[in-house]
């Protein structure tokens, strides 16, 4: 079975590398010539644990993986074609921009050489896959291809494991032929007894948006509970533990913090709301989630000013710039949003992140980037722990105290014990405590 992946962004590259690991001949296609050149030299354009090893293995040893700029050469003999291009939010409307998906569908219609399955793996609103079919069918007889929705559920920082050991595989199709081929594609997962959910195309598309939106709702809910805990003297971590033991609730995504960010949750929540509005369906719960998350950054920033007695010209430390650990992705990073609000009020930000500083600098040129967490804490008035990287979990606070006038620590991710930090002479403020 030969696979073609259109798009070498995060989803496309992970998908291609993992399918090669399954043993399939896989070509990943991108119009960016420089990116393709670097990928063919085993240079990954982003940080993700485990990807470099897969690239080296399947580019240089097994030869199962390749990268190309040519759609015509790559698609002609492909059995399955995956669309993995971006679906960013339109800035004003908030709905998903599907122009890249539809442009690719048009290109596919010009380059199909035999019967194949065209798969939308990008996160797309309901109805998109059928529109892809409509576009292709203008030039290709419908008996010569099928369309399938096969949404991805990859988490940045653990994407390889998520692909190799998924909770489920969702296949949205409208005939048994395409379903059987897709089930065969995922046969390597059968030994793991991975649930394969076969459903309609429309249901598959909604499953992805509904899943991400529900997780975003859980995050916003526990953050609201955290606000209440701060008011009444409760500890949100104890509350979350007590809730999460209940199997009906579960303990995942009950970690209070500055709110959700990244490349998926913010845009997917907004797109799902827009989809509901188009079909005259009330999605007020999700609208509240979106509004609360947007406002949370302002609330947290105001808390910094009041607790740390900040004034114009003060220096503070910001540890963690990526939206989550184990990635260099800074898209919709809560840390960067907080940094910008503080900078707007005249605060100088000294920052450090293990992997994301280059990307962060592109987004915020006024950040002072440091070579270590300790360097970032020299001569600062307060420390903000914005991302829970492992190397921030065992900081030497005696060393920090000796090099800084810093007395205030804002632990947005609750990775430290408050008493241990206050016993060292610091003021400590967690989230929901």
Active site residue 370: no
Structure tokens at 372: 């270590």
Domains 2-199 and 296-429 are alike in CATH topology: yes
Residues of the chain with pLDDT > 70: what percent? 100
pLDDT of 91 over the 80 cut = no
Q: Tell me the per-residue pLDDT of 339-359, one tens digit each, with 9 for 90 and over.
A: 999 999 999 999 999 999 999
Q: Tell me the per-residue pLDDT of 96-149, one tens digit each, with 9 for 90 and over.
A: 999 999 999 999 999 998 999 999 999 999 999 999 999 999 999 999 999 999
At 406, the pLDDT band (50, 70, 90 cuts) reads low
Helix (H) or strand (E) holding 28: strand 25-29
Helix (H) or strand (E) holding 119: strand 116-120
Please provide the average confidence, as pLDDT, over all residues in the chain.
Answer: 95
Give the pLDDT mean for 254-272.
95
Give the pLDDT mean for 293-302.
95
Domain 2-199 has CATH 3.40.50.970: no
Rounded distance between C-alpha atoms, residue 4 and residue 70, angstroms: 11
Lowest mean pLDDT among 95-109, 245-259, 361-375, 401-415: 401-415
Residue 198: predicted pLDDT: 97
pLDDT of 73 over the 90 cut = no
Specify the pTM.
0.94
One of 3.40.50.720, 3.90.550.10, 3.60.110.10, 3.90.1150.10 is the CATH number of 296-429, namely 3.40.50.720
**3-state class (DSSP) for residue 146:** strand
Residue 90: predicted pLDDT: 85
For residue 425, what are the contacts with CB-CB under 8 A and spacing of at least 6? 401, 407
Annotated catalytic residue within 173, 229, 264, 370: 264
Rounded distance between C-alpha atoms, residue 132 and residue 103, angstroms: 9
Q: DSSP letters of 174-233?
A: SSHHHHHHHHHHTGGGGGGT--EEEE-HHHHHHHHHHHHHHHHHHHHHHHHHHHHHHHHT
* Residues 139-165: b if buried by 16+ CB within 10 A, e if exposed: ebeeeebbbbbbbbbbebbbbbebbee
Q: Tell me the per-residue pLDDT of 191-200, one tens digit each, with 9 for 90 and over.
A: 899 999 999 9
Domain 209-291 has CATH 1.10.1040.10: yes
For residue 279, what are the contacts with CB-CB under 8 A and spacing of at least 6? none
Q: Tell me the per-residue pLDDT of 166-192, one tens digit each, with 9 for 90 and over.
A: 999 999 999 999 999 999 999 999 989
Q: Do 349 and 316 contact (CB within 8 A), yes or no? A: yes
Show me where the domains of the chain are located. Answer: 2-199, 209-291, 296-429
């Amino acid at each position: 079975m030969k696979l073609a992946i259109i798009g070498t962004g995060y989803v496309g590259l992970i998908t291609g590398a993992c399918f090669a690991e399954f043993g399939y001949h896989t070509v990943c296609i991108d119009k960016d010539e420089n990116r393709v050149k670097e990928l063919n030299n085993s240079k990954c354009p982003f940080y993700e644990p485990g990807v470099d090893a897969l690239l080296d293995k399947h580019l240089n040893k097994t030869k199962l993986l390749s990268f190309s700029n040519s759609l015509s050469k790559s698609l002609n003999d492909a059995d399955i074609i995956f669309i993995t291009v971006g679906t960013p939010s339109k800035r004003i409307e908030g709905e998903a921009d599907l122009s890249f998906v539809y442009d690719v569908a048009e290109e596919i219609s010009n380059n199909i050489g035999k019967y194949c399955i065209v798969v939308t793996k990008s996160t797309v609103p309901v109805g998109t896959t059928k529109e892809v079919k409509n576009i292709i069918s203008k030039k290709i007889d419908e008996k010569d291809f099928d369309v399938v929705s096969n949404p991805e559920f990859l988490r940045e920082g653990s994407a390889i494991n998520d692909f190799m050991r998924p909770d489920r595989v969702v296949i949205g199709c409208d005939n048994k032929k395409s379903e059987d081929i897709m089930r065969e594609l995922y046969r390597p997962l059968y030994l793991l007894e991975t649930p394969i959910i076969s459903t309609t195309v429309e249901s598959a598309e909604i499953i992805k948006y509904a899943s991400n939106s529900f997780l975003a709702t859980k995050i916003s809910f526990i953050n609201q509970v955290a606000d209440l805990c701060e008011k009444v003297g409760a500890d949100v971590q104890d509350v979350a533990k007590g809730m999460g033991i209940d199997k009906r609730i579960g303990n995942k995504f009950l970690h209070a913090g500055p709110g959700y960010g990244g490349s998926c949750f913010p845009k997917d929540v907004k797109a799902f709301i827009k989809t509901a509005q188009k079909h005259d369906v009330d999605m007020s719960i999700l609208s509240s989630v979106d509004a609360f998350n947007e406002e949370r950054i302002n609330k947290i920033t105001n808390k910094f000013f009041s607790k740390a007695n900040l004034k114009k010209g003060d220096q503070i430390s910001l540890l963690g710039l990526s939206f989550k650990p184990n990635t260099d992705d800074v898209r919709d990073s809560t840390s960067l949003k907080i940094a910008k609000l503080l900078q707007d009020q005249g605060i100088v930000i000294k920052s450090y992140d293990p992997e994301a500083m280059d990307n962060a600098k592109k987004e915020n040129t006024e950040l002072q980037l440091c070579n270590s967490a300790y360097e970032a804490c020299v001569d600062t008035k307060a420390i903000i722990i914005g991302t829970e990287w492992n190397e921030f979990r065992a900081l030497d606070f005696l060393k920090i105290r000796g090099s800084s006038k810093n007395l205030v620590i804002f632990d947005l991710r609750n990775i430290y014990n408050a008493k241990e930090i206050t016993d060292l002479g610091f003021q400590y403020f967690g989230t929901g405590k």
